[in-house]
Amino acid sequence: MKKEYCGLFGIYGHPEAARMTYFGLYALQHRGQESAGIVTWDGTTIREQKGMGLVADVFNERHLGKELKGSIAVGHLRYSTAGASLLRNCQPFLVRFGNMNLAIAHNGNLVNALELRRELEQTGSIFQTTIDSEVFVHLIAKYLNGGTMEEAVIKACSKVRGAYSLILLANNKMIALRDPHGVRPLMLGRLGDNYVLASETCAFDLIEAEIIRPIEPGEMLVIQDKCLQSFRLGEPQPTKQCIFELVYFARPDSEVFGEVVYLRRKQMGITLANEAPVDADYVMPFPDSGVYAAIGYSQASGLPFESTMIRNHYVGRTFIQPSQDMRDFSVRVKLNPVRQMIKDKRIIIVEDSIVRGTTIRTRVKKLRELGAREIHMRVSCPAIRHPCFYGIDFSSKGELIAAHNKVEEIARFIGLDSLHYLSIEGLLASVNSSPDESRFCLACFDGKYPIAPCAEGMKMCLEDSVALSW
């Protein structure tokens, strides 16, 4: 089953719901660049527009002004791993059964999706896509017979395991929910008299909506006729929020899990400077991912902050593109150095993470060619040693440079004079304004999975493992 990391937006009761959803998705574009979709409901008819590419490529004025009619809308952005970049896998996923129109937008990954899919197919379900989100639809349809939509959703959630934030559009109802561990974010806001939902608060800022609160872990919120009802999905579970939202994914101007992302990333840099000081001429990031930690490192160390790598803003983020060939090409066109700032300099590069190491190796090689005397790297999160089963594209140990190699070996492979990863303790101290340090999922660092992966998926990830070679 393909893993996904996505962006969600929903709005209820606005006369220009499609246009507001377009703006919300635009603000969340960093969460997925492969496809985008909007589904609307006008009281009698459900409509959809989906396509491959960026938000601005998928929608035009005809869609927003004429075709996507209705005051209720849900939108979705998606990125996928290789092999799943298909139009049929775009969301929101829309089905019709009886007099019910159901659209689902999902951020996360179900660890038992393959098992549930086989069970459903054996009882006659026919799947149209390869996304695990479709499992929810078949389960809801199965349990809707004779019951309410709310009851069907709760029963469906009792069968699935994994990470999920969902926005469902069921005729005139909008339903938002998060898994009991709260792995993925989802926020509730208000725009005038209308309720809005989004993966991150930066989407609210663009449309000038007020932040109300997060959807709680294990909560199902139903919006109907501008009234809210809250339900519990089941027994409370330990909260395990994805710490990589604060390290990498969320926009720095967002609030996620009650934390201001900008401040948390800056604090990571401050902690990193205290853990691993080094004498150098200046501190620099590889834009944009390491910028805010680099600011913190610079301020804590007293070393100047310099932007000596200039980003081409018309090239997509390399991490979420679907093929290695495309990633390698992006490395060459995404950043260009200021040559006069590099020759004979001792440089500290602050990066937010190292996943495969190939992109950073290419960039460091370029700095060496331009005459850098020393290159030190400080990484504002711990070494990523374990696959993620909850929706981030760390799909196998074989893709993780730190899974089978020591820090010194990684430094040599990349071409560094020194390398230091922020400790787990340092990361927790940096991101946590709450006394509860156990609220974060750290599985990609320590291998302690809060939701047990299925045996089949674990076997596939662990078999694909290789060490570095020079």
Task: Burial-class residue 102 by CB neighbours within 10 Å (0-12, 13-18, 19+).
Answer: buried
Taking a C-beta distance cutoff of 8 angstroms, is the pair 394, 340 a contact? no
Q: Which of 286, 214, 296 has its CA nearest to residue 263?
A: 296
Show the tokens assigned to 38: 């909007």
Catalytically annotated residue among 6, 157, 381, 461: 6
Among 9, 16, 105, 12, which Cα is nearest to 69's? Answer: 16
Closest among 209, 235, 100, 98 to 154, alpha carbons compared:
235
How far is CA 160 from its chain centroid? 20
Q: Based on the residue annotation, tell me whether 157 is a catalytic residue of this protein.
A: no
* Contact (CB, 8 A) for 375 and 269: no
The reply, when asked if residue 242 is annotated as ligand binding, is: yes
Other CB atoms within a 10 A radius of the CB of residue 356 amount to: 16
Provide the phi-psi class of 91: left if phi over 0, else alpha when psi is between -120 and 50, else beta: beta
227 in a known ligand binding site: no
Q: Determine how β-strand 187-191 pairs with β-strand 255-256.
A: unpaired
Q: How far is CA 396 from CA 8, 31, 351, 383, 444, in A?
A: 26, 21, 22, 15, 11
Which DSSP category does 300 fall into? H
Task: Judge whether 441 is annotated as a binding position.
Answer: yes
Query: What one-character-per-residue DSSP string does 36-65 give?
Result: EEEEEE-SS-EEEEEEES-HHHH--HHIII
Q: Is 157 annotated as a binding residue?
A: no
Indicate the pairing of strand 35-41 with strand 72-78. antiparallel
Q: What is the DSSP letter of 391?
A: S
**How far, in Å, CA of 51 to CA of 87, rounded?**
6
Q: Residue 205, preceding bond cis, omega within 30 degrees?
A: no
- Whole-Å CA distances, 264 to 232, 251, 341, 429: 30, 12, 29, 10
Which residues participate in the annotated binding site for [4Fe-4S] cluster? Answer: 242, 388, 441, 444
- The residues carrying an active-site annotation are 6
Which residues participate in the annotated binding site? Answer: 242, 388, 441, 444
